[in-house]
Each structure stands twice: as C-alpha cells, then as structure tokens.
Amino acid sequence: MQTSFTPAQLTDPDIESVNGILRSCVHCGFCTATCPTYVLLGDELDSPRGRIYQMKSFIEEDRVPTDEEVKHIDRCLSCLSCMTTCPPSVHYMHLVDHGRAHIARTYHRPLLDRLTRTFIGFVLPRPGLFRWALIGGSLVRPIRNLMPNRLKTMLNLLPASVPSPGWVDRKETYPASNAAISEQSSCEPAKARVALLSGCAQQVLGPHVNEATVRLLNRLGVEVVVTNPKGCCGALVHHMGQTEASHNQAKAMIDAWIVEADDKGLDAVIINASGCGTTVKDYGYMFRNDPDYSEKAARVAALTQDITEFLTTLDMSEVSAPEDLSVTYHSACSMQHGQQIKAAPLDLLLMAGFAVKEPAESHLCCGSAGTYNMLQPEIASQLKKRKIANLRMTQPDIIATGNIGCMMQLSSLKGEGAVVPVVHTVELLDWAAGGPRPLGMSTG
C-alpha cells in the first residue's frame, strides 16, 4: 500500500511504525474471509482491509476521524484472526492500537459513550473496586429493564454470584510440593521458579483459575510467586486507546517482575488469561522507545508464557483424567491468533486422557473480546449465539478454554440452553493431577 506521510510525520516513531505496517498491506482481501464482523455484516468497511484504509486516511492526514470511521473501528474485535490469515503478515494489532489511540486523543465521543468507557477503564482494572461494582450491580439487576440500554447490557453480563476472594489474591510465594502426583520428596529443589499474573477481572470473576494454576504447578515441582502490585497488566485500557493509563499499569507489573527476577530469579512469567498474555508478550514493542523501560519490558516479554506453553516443558506423564469425558476446546482469539498457540492446549488435554474435539468455525470470535460485549452488545450477542451453536454441535460433556472473558461469555447462556459447563483448561489438568473437580462442573 502506498503511503504519503511527510518527512516531519515520520520523525514520530509511532507514525514510522504505522507507515511500515501500511506499506506491507497488498490489498489482497484474504483477511475478509476470516473477519467476524465482515462475516456477519458483509460490509467492506467492517473488514480489516476496509479499516486499514480508514485508519490510513485519518492518521496520514492527522485529522479528527469522522463518526462513520469511528463506528467501524469501534466494531473491530481485535480478535486478530486477520493476522493469522494475512499472507504478507501485516501487523494489524499494532495498527489498530495506534488507530484507537489516535481516536482517543482527537475524537469527542457522545456523553454516554465517554461515561461508559471511563467507568470500564477505571473500575475493571482495580479488583477491589470491581468486586464492589459487581455486588452493587447485582442489587439493582432486578430493575435492569428500567435502565438505559447500555447500562442494562452491562447488568445482563453480571455473573449469577460473585465468588469469594481467592487465596492467590495476595503477595505470596507458593513452594513446590511434588507430593500429590509423584513419590519425590517435597524437600527437593524446585524444578523452576515462576511469577503468576493474578490479573484484575480474573482475580474477581475466576479466582479458582489462579488457584488451580498454583496447585498444578506446585505438584509438578514449580515454585510460584505472586508479586505486588497485583492487578491489570494494561491490556484492558490499552485496547480502548488509553495509552498513558495502560503504560502506567504495565510499568507497575514490569517493575514488580524485574525486582523478583533480579532477586531470586524467574524462569518464566506465567499468564493464564490469554488476553493478558498477548499484551504482556508485546511489552517490548509497547516500550520500544522508552529509554527507562525498553530493556526491562523486553526482558519481561521474553519471559512470558501462557500456562499451557509452560506445561509442555514439564513432565505431565502422571497427569491422568479421572473420568472418561468429551471435552470441546474453544480456542480464545488471543490464544490462537494473538499468541499463535494452537497445539499446546489440545495436546495437554489429549495426553491427560480426555477425548478432545474442536468446533466448526473455531477461528471466529465468541464476541467477548475484552470489553467488546459491553461496548458492542448487538454484534457480540450474534457472535456468541453462533459460537454456542457450533459448540453444541460437538455434543461435549465440558467446554474448555484459556481465557476468562470467553468463559464468562459462553457460560452466560445457561438460560438459553447452554447447560454444558465451561471451565479453564488448567482446571481440567489440575483435576487430572489430583486437584479438586473444576468448580464449573459442579455448578454447570
């Protein structure tokens, strides 16, 4: 794609990056076939190629985007399916992040949209505040039909109950045990030492996922440390174009992990929410021009692994499914497209003895996409129904996935016939290694 940035514009490192991404696009349109919004809406402006042209226009001209352009960029899920499909490997993620940051800087959104985004960006990354917001929301949910549509949508997404705080939600070091699935002495040195991101939304909505992660790693001989500060890695607000807030949150995590790595050492930073993992692995790019953080951010990014990636490096031979169950694996977009992790979760479940299936259209998003189901509820609902229909066709006993957002999105259809429990992949593996039955299976 030909670009027309001025020499003065290209002195800005972000514009230089945008220019390189745009020039790698060859207009082939392969991306349209795998883009969820184009598949649903059939509008070229709601395809990656169409959005690339729109972002090129307002970034190159350094102008305020039009209402129409903002509408189409906002409709992008950032699922990154287009990046998996793209022959010339256009880095659409970086481009749309720049586009959203440009919109956040220059475009004046309607009042309700501004308030919604401010609320989401302030509350969700703060676990304590998020918990109180969920409790408050549950109190007014019975009268949600009297609320404005946007607020009613958010109330409809609330879980049936708010879990109690988990035991992994505090700064702690959890030593390797080895005792549960082997005869090795618990006094033996740990095979590895890792830091775990306990997360923001997951810490509140799914503390059992963090607990399963720690239990499993400890049994496999891995020492796990949860550092301070705890909370958001920056992903949530980063994809809303709030660059300063996302970088501040990311810096806090980087500092905490670097202190731990320089003190007692870290073999990996473990992420068990794939949406977070995609962003943390991108810290090197995010801070590439920051003289104080570029090296530290690159170190953290290099250490970061999804929990399933790390588990493939350990001896899982004694992990065995306690029941003969059919598991349909839903691969989160941030897992299969953002991190290009496809085989590891499936292989681990198969090696544990589960019968594993994949649904049709596995490349299409379920509609969760971070905050997307709150900001674009109509499209998110269509994608959810489509995903659930494909999952049902496999007739599973359990649905497994690797992202808390997908878990909440898919489990929220219990009133529409989706009674199959939805659990995290690591919960099944923890169960197979001697841990408790996954919480979702006892309530599904």
Please report which confidence band the pLDDT of residue 159 belongs to, taking 50, 70 and 90 as the band edges: confident
What per-residue confidence (pLDDT) applies to 335?
Answer: 96
Q: Is the peptide bond before 229 cis (omega within 30 degrees of 0)?
A: yes
Tens-digit pLDDT profile for residues 278-288? 999 999 999 99
What's the pLDDT score for residue 443? 53
pLDDT score of 76: 97
Contact assessment for residue 267 and residue 193, using Cβ atoms and an 8 Å cutoff: yes
pLDDT in tens, 100-157: 999 999 999 999 899 999 999 999 999 999 999 888 888 887 887 777 777 777 787 8
- Structure tokens, 240: 């809303």
Mean pLDDT of all residues in 265-280: 96
Report the pLDDT averaged over residues 377-384: 94
| Lowest mean pLDDT segment, chosen from 1-15, 219-233, 285-299, 382-396 | 219-233
Indicate the pLDDT class of residue 177, thresholds 50, 70 and 90.
Answer: confident
Condensed to tens digits (0 to 9), the pLDDT of residues 294-320 reads 999 999 999 999 999 999 999 999 999
DSSP conformation class of 33? G
Q: How far is CA 54 from CA 72, 179, 310, in A?
A: 9, 57, 39
- Percent over 70 (pLDDT), the chain: 95
The CATH H-level superfamily of 9-106 is Alpha-helical ferredoxin (1.10.1060.10)
In the chain, domain spans: 9-106, 111-156, 172-311, 326-443
What are 227's two structure tokens? 């550092």
**390-439 pLDDT, tens digit each:** 999 999 999 999 999 999 999 855 544 547 899 999 999 999 999 999 98
- CATH fold of 326-443: Rossmann fold (3.40.50)
The pLDDT, as a whole number, for residue 139 is 82
Q: pLDDT of 61-79, one tens digit each?
A: 999 999 999 999 999 999 9
- Inter-helix orientation angle 92-106/13-24, to 10°: 130
- Three-class secondary structure of residue 271 per DSSP: strand
pLDDT of residue 122: 94
Phi and psi torsions of 269, nearest 5°: -105, 115
